[in-house]
Structure 1
């Protein structure tokens, strides 16, 4: 008989030992305590073996004890294994963090975070000299970003060297960081090896660059500014040095056969831009195609801006054509640059083209573009171009085919343009010239397709069953005349959620629309629970909306934006919210259909002493409009959201220059 001892811990935590008897022939296990361990056991009292019933009890105890022991040992082994794995992982992470490669990456990222181009170049030189770590794509990308930024004389801190769009910061003619092409011409020769052989060994010269930059920064302290927003200004010496070294870094990246990426090539294009070399900047975009890289909007910025700044209008529009061919669409900064160069070259056909691009892509123009447009219509060349005769019937057909608001047939009429600042009345009539502006129709099929696309987006990002349940609920209890973004209303002007404000808006919009039915109230379910909502007056409101089948509580983890937006699009009704729908969720919906839909369906609100005040959708489409007579109405972007206060440009010709007829005439060249 073999005896093995197992630890066993009863509730009072006194360790006991149990002998395990093994019958080899029958493989029968019996577990009984030592007589010496338990004084009151049967064996210790009379020397006889326990009865069969006692054996049964002991066997059950044996089974339970063995199971507990096995689980305990298994748990201990798992804990030891987990601790070993965690310790090994931590050790591996520590070794990786302490590796030369990781320390170098962190050092480069710190230079990028601080906008320290000189420090990054010094780090680059020492790394190349030591030869311990091979520079990779990330290192080169950070270096090129810092050098390209420093070449413009201003460095903005960044996380990893991926620069923002060039034109956003540099297209303005009054920007202090712009480099004048004539001043920069000949200042830097890429073939000149004054900082040669991939290293910079002259410590005194490097120190002088740092000192000159420190003096500039001290002068700025008298007039401090937000570096996160405006960046750090650099001296002329640092600018020239960064440009020279930047091209050297790029050449070494090519020699080392490091994989190129869009950010690196865009940085090289920005360096070319600082020299006024648009051809080289455009060549970087061409190289992206050779590398299999898809150019982005920012990739085209340096070439486009340089050609525009140099007055090379044909090359500028060649860049724009290349953008469109590759599915990249210009936005307001790019279109402003194209408009500026077109006006400077007195190219009426190009100005007309860009105005319609602004109409379709931007809708409301910025103040700087508005000034450009005024300059164009005031110039003599603008008064001399345009068709003298045209067919009114064909113009009307063209406008109908386009959905209203424009014909796209070129300038109409001749003579001096009259330019006025105006507002649009409640009926959509210009308060200056009396022209009725158009409400551009939304295609019904396009609306249906948009609703389906929105639903597919929501299902991908929400729990599928939750959103499908909502769709079925809408089919059962819809349609509605309006949808209320209840969270936006309930938190209006305060941090504390207030259901009574929702009630005021619900009653107010129903009265405004002469509707006998409540609007649909979309509210997250966490807003209908809690101590405040359980107050009798608030609970009565919730119950009232529920009983009217007008309240839908979105489930936990859901984004209620998807729900109220989908409902408003599905029912082609109004949405009451002050949410301007500009975050990433709405960016997914694109810039084509969604802005038009939002303009026609969003109701803004505010509160006065007498209750809620609603700012209904404008009586006309807030977008650049071209009339049958060739007149223009151009809305200007503003900080407020109320269309009754928006300023428009009203641009008309004198009647003497307008000869519209009811028969077709030759299409004179503009």
Structure 2
């Protein structure tokens, strides 16, 4: 077979003797990988002297290297004006970029904002972010951080709040480092309303606070102002009602009580009781608004994908039959550890789960969701038919129609009725991807019941007795979980804060 040489002589020649622009870009990339600012600036000076044409990638690399030589934004040094030749050089390159008519990108603005913050000009850093629209660049969290951290560091609280407002208006979600900085400036400037607000924002952002954040929280509760704020009289029934509506774990109605706070390091027992003050922590659920939104989302998706099965019929049936405290994913339970090759389906396993739920819920029947195709195959066996017919007579069985995916049915029922769901399905399949994770994971933690069969003996693993999240009690006390490596959750350190 003849071998054809496809190598282009011109290409080979170009590789041996690259054009100056190509050689510059290659060497600049090497400097970027090695974080070699001095080498990159030397290359830049050579490029300028040779009148090479630079594009936005070249400028971005150069400005980024200048900004990356500065202190970390969230470090104690951030926000102080520093003397660093890289700052002036970075601005010089940025101005050269603008003079050449090259529009900055989000990466450019982020790097220049860092330079401005390091120079002490946090106002300019924020102005850059606010005017990005004229370059058709969209800010990200990292783009806003320089101005936010700089304002917080300089105790310019109102300006820091303005940055946060701008971020929220753009749909940018703040993370713990940003909220921690805002919390600190609020503590140190004595803005008790903002402190309260950021504690709740942290609650929605993280499960456990970092040690750094927990220290800031402790400093507030140990302060003179912290002991002075609050009220002595409140409607306990109203607070309890609001907490129930919120899903437990917080009321959000402001500081309750007055007087000196006592901050202790504590642990929480397996039953959810604080080992210091004895308060029982909540297993936090999604609130009522989120629950309704979640149920509507599931129904909407199900009807798009279950058009042939008339999912709306199930919704109407569930409205008429809503007195359930548990939903059972019938196929998941009955097929657990069975031989799929033989079509194994253990009705006895399903029966054991149903019986256990019935006995432990003051003799209330759970709702078993089973696909009609599976139901019909099972009823060919007289003993199975007898059990299934008995469940149906008690209103404990709903069979989903042919062509349906029963996952939508048991999930919708559990969410709509706000009850437990018995399944080992971790709900990671493609159909659940549409639901997002904003409150799906919180809902799962509160409602999913796992199970095992050990030597044919059923063991139900109920949801945890409490949630690992900042909690505010109806009496005004607080419990804050702190990050760390522990042998088990009962060893985790919590801040227990009581009056």
Q: TM-score, normalization: structure 2?
A: 0.70
What is residue 123 of structure 2 aligned with on the other side? 279
Task: Give the 3-state SS of the residue equivalent to 1:267 in structure 2.
Answer: helix
Q: Deviations over 1:486-519 (max 9, x none)?
A: 9xx9xxxxxxxxxxxxxxxxx8xx87994799x9
Counterpart check, 1:625 vs 2:484 = no
The answer on whether the counterparts of 1:482 and 1:575 sit within 8 Å (CA) in structure 2 is no
What is residue 143 of structure 2 aligned with on the other side? 299
1:392 to partner: Cα distance: 2.8
1:393 to partner: Cα distance: 3.8
Task: Report matched runs for 1:556-571 at 5 Å.
Answer: 569=411
Task: Give the 3-state SS of the residue equivalent to 1:419 in structure 2.
Answer: strand
What is residue 74 of structure 2 aligned with on the other side? 171
The answer on whether the counterparts of 2:179 and 2:202 sit within 8 Å (CA) in structure 1 is yes
What is residue 415 of structure 1 aligned with on the other side? 259
1:479 to partner: Cα distance: 5.0
The answer on whether the counterparts of 1:636 and 1:648 sit within 8 Å (CA) in structure 2 is yes
Of residues 131, 139, 150 in structure 1, which corresponds to 2:69? 150
Of residues 136, 139, 147 in structure 1, which corresponds to 2:58? 139
Task: Report matched runs for 1:517-528 at 5 Å.
Answer: none
Change (3 A) 1:586 1:151: farther
Task: Give the 3-state SS of the residue equivalent to 2:255 in structure 1.
Answer: coil
Distance 1:642 1:612 in 2: 25
What is residue 248 of structure 2 aligned with on the other side? 404
Task: Give the 3-state SS of the residue equivalent to 1:280 in structure 2.
Answer: helix
Distance 1:635 1:383 in 2: 21
Moved more, 419-428 or 296-305: 419-428
What is residue 637 of structure 1 aligned with on the other side? 483
1:315 to partner: Cα distance: 0.8
1:342 to partner: Cα distance: 1.2
What is residue 111 of structure 1 aligned with on the other side? 31
Distance 1:147 1:453 in 2: 50
Distance 1:512 1:647 in 2: 38
The answer on whether the counterparts of 1:575 and 1:601 sit within 8 Å (CA) in structure 2 is no
What is residue 543 of structure 1 aligned with on the other side? none
Task: Report matched runs for 1:319-468 at 5 Å.
Answer: 319-442=163-286, 443=288, 444-451=291-298
The answer on whether the counterparts of 1:624 and 1:633 sit within 8 Å (CA) in structure 2 is yes
Task: Give the 3-state SS of the residue equivalent to 1:346 in structure 2.
Answer: coil
1:349 to partner: Cα distance: 1.3
Distance 2:469 2:155 in 1: 29
1:605 to partner: Cα distance: 11
1:284 to partner: Cα distance: 1.5
Distance 1:619 1:91 in 2: 72
Structure whose CA Rg is larger: 1
What is residue 53 of structure 1 aligned with on the other side? none
The answer on whether the counterparts of 1:429 and 1:437 sit within 8 Å (CA) in structure 2 is yes
Distance 2:13 2:458 in 1: 60
Distance 2:293 2:484 in 1: 29
Distance 1:625 1:315 in 2: 29
Task: Give the 3-state SS of the residue equivalent to 1:388 in structure 2.
Answer: coil
Q: Deviations over 1:93-125 (max 9, x none)?
A: 985994444433322222111111111111111
Task: Give the 3-state SS of the residue equivalent to 2:254 in structure 1.
Answer: coil
Change (3 A) 1:179 1:395: closer
The answer on whether the counterparts of 2:73 and 2:146 sit within 8 Å (CA) in structure 1 is no
Change (3 A) 1:356 1:94: farther
1:388 to partner: Cα distance: 2.9
Distance 2:116 2:246 in 1: 41
What is residue 329 of structure 2 aligned with on the other side? 480
Of residues 108, 114, 134 in structure 2, which corresponds to 1:270? 114
Q: How many residues align?
A: 429
What is residue 181 of structure 1 aligned with on the other side? 80
Task: Give the 3-state SS of the residue equivalent to 1:421 in structure 2.
Answer: strand
1:636 to partner: Cα distance: 2.5
The answer on whether the counterparts of 2:232 and 2:257 sit within 8 Å (CA) in structure 1 is yes
Distance 2:258 2:12 in 1: 74
Distance 2:73 2:301 in 1: 36
1:381 to partner: Cα distance: 1.4
Distance 1:565 1:276 in 2: 56
Distance 2:490 2:301 in 1: 30
1:269 to partner: Cα distance: 0.5
Q: Deviations over 1:10-31 (max 9, x none)?
A: xxxxxxxxxxxxxxxxxxxxxx
Q: Deviations over 1:515-564 (max 9, x none)?
A: 799x99xxxxxxxxxxxxxxxxxxxxxxxxxxxxxxxxxxxxxxxxxx99
Task: Report matched runs for 1:154-233 at 5 Å.
Answer: 170-173=73-76, 178-179=77-78, 181=80, 184=82, 187=83
Name the structure, 1 or 2, with higher relative contact order (CA <8 Å, separation 6+): 2
What is residue 44 of structure 1 aligned with on the other side? none
Distance 2:332 2:225 in 1: 50
CA RMSD of aligned residues (A): 5.0
The answer on whether the counterparts of 2:248 and 2:282 sit within 8 Å (CA) in structure 1 is yes
Task: Report matched runs for 1:234-273 at 5 Å.
Answer: 240-273=84-117
1:405 to partner: Cα distance: 2.6
Task: Report matched runs for 1:446-595 at 5 Å.
Answer: 446-451=293-298, 480=329, 514=356, 569=411, 572=414, 573=421, 576=424, 592-595=438-441
Point out where structure 2 has 5 or more consecutive residues left out of the alignment: 312-326, 338-348, 359-365, 370-404, 415-420
